[in-house]
């Protein structure tokens, strides 16, 4: 027996399973700043990479949030990797606060300067992408009506990686302790060596 439901009519569960099924997902921990220089830091659970060359990433802002407003104004943002040591600080940056409030301060985090853009990085994060915005798209439903969700895409123009995470010239995802969003009201997962297995593409 399987469950079937039409999302437009709601669901019969305690929590919407959609985002738990499409998961776990990398966390878009986005730092940005307003045109006046006010810093913002927020995690987004709908985030991913979309292209190799040029490298493109994107995140979804459900509602018009400070990150979206800042990126529209400046055209710049930074993605900061969330690993196990930053989990509690990342969670603090989830708080809904006024635009003039600096989430770096709330979470007890420090900034690190970027090389190519004005927006700073999270100093405690072992990997950061400096990005310039390429597109902001307001999304639509099946009827062609605009919804209150925006996709923000950016080209990665600079990458910072702690040296300890490079092994034999390869980025070591397993030992970086990536934290990913699992869906549900509070579910996260941490990736470690025990989850690693290798499958090579078939050759003709």
pLDDT mean over 176-180: 95
User: Does this model's pTM top 0.85?
Assistant: yes
Whether residue 14 is predicted with pLDDT greater than 90 in this model: the reply is no
Q: Which CATH class is domain 25-194?
A: mainly beta
Structure token digits, residue 175: 């030992």
pLDDT 10s digits, 98-110: 888 999 999 999 9
Per DSSP, helices labelled H in 28-132 are 66-74, 87-92, 103-106
C-alpha 122, offset from chain centre: 13
Longest Cα–Cα distance in the chain: 58
Whole-number Å distance between alpha carbons of 189 and 204? 36
pLDDT mean over 48-64: 97
* 43 burial via Cβ count (<10 Å: 0-12, 13-18, 19+): buried
- In 10 A of CB 17, how many CB atoms? 15
Whether residue 183 is predicted with pLDDT greater than 90 in this model: the reply is no
Give domain limits for the chain.
Answer: 25-194
pLDDT 10s digits, 134-158: 999 999 999 999 999 999 999 999 9
Q: Which residues pair with 43 in a beta bridge?
A: 29
Per-residue model confidence (pLDDT) at position 161: 98
Per-residue model confidence (pLDDT) at position 32: 98
Among 23-27, 30-34, 71-75, which is the least confidently predicted range? 23-27
Per-residue model confidence (pLDDT) at position 53: 97
Per-residue model confidence (pLDDT) at position 23: 83
- In 10 A of CB 154, how many CB atoms? 25
């Amino acid at each position: 027996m399987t469950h079937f439901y039409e999302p437009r009519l709601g669901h019969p569960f305690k929590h919407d399973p959609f985002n738990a099924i499409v998961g776990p997902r990398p966390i878009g921990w986005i730092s940005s700043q307003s045109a006046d220089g006010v810093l913002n830091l927020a995690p987004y659970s709908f985030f991913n990479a979309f292209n190799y060359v040029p490298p493109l990433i994107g995140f979804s802002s459900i509602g018009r949030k400070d990150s979206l407003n800042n990126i529209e104004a400046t055209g710049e943002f930074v993605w900061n990797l969330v690993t196990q040591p930053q989990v509690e600080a990342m969670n603090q940056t989830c708080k809904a606060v006024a635009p003039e409030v600096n989430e770096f301060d709330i979470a007890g985090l420090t900034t690190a300067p970027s090389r190519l853009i004005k927006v700073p990085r999270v100093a405690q994060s072992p990997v950061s992408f400096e990005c310039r915005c390429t597109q902001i798209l307001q999304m639509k439903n099946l009827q062609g009506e605009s919804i209150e969700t925006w996709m923000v895409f950016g080209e990665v123009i600079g990458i910072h990686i702690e040296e300890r995470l490079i092994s034999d010239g390869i980025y070591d995802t397993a030992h970086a302790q990536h934290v990913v969003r699992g869906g549900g009201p509070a579910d996260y997962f941490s990736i470690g060596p025990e989850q690693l297995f290798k499958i090579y593409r078939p050759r003709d």
